[in-house]
Amino acid sequence: MSIADIANKRNCSAKFLEHIFRDLKSANIVVSKRGKTGGYTLARPTQDITCKDIVLAVEQNVEIVYCVSGYCPQVDQCMTSNLWKRTQEQLYRSLEKITIKSLVESYREGFTNEINYQI
């Protein structure tokens, strides 16, 4: 699918998507094909791509608070630093468990559950 098609369907800037897809391509999440029928496709099976892969490809790092990366000069005196580190680790573990495949399945189930079968 081309960036222009995605931008039109999602009502967002193609320029914005170009940056995202460049990062996704660098992380081996998508591959690009040039030409008239070109565009982007997934580089790996959907069960092998996690939300953590995508988030880290696009954001490089997701910190719930800045001090979890070790840049805080008061980390030794902070009563909550361990809480934030554990929470950060849990976030990454949760994102690792969610695959593109499971997202698609959940999305489809949501539509199936909403159908009203009454006649």
State the pTM of this model.
0.78
Q: Are both 57 and 15 inside the same structural domain? A: no
Q: Give the total number of structural domains in the chain.
A: 2
Helix, strand, coil shares of the chain as percentages rounded to 5?
60, 10, 30
The parent domain of residue 114 ranges over 45-119
Q: Are both 28 and 50 inside the same structural domain? A: no
Q: Are both 71 and 101 inside the same structural domain? A: yes
Triad 72, 73, 78: Cα angle to 5°: 75
pLDDT tens track for 25-57? 999 999 998 888 788 999 999 999 999 999 999
| Residues in contact with 88: Cβ distance below 8 Å, sequence separation at least 6, in sequence order | 63, 64, 68
The pLDDT, as a whole number, for residue 112 is 59
Band of pLDDT at residue 118, cut at 50, 70 and 90: very low
Q: Are both 65 and 96 inside the same structural domain? A: yes
Q: Are both 10 and 60 inside the same structural domain? A: no
Q: Are both 88 and 58 inside the same structural domain? A: yes
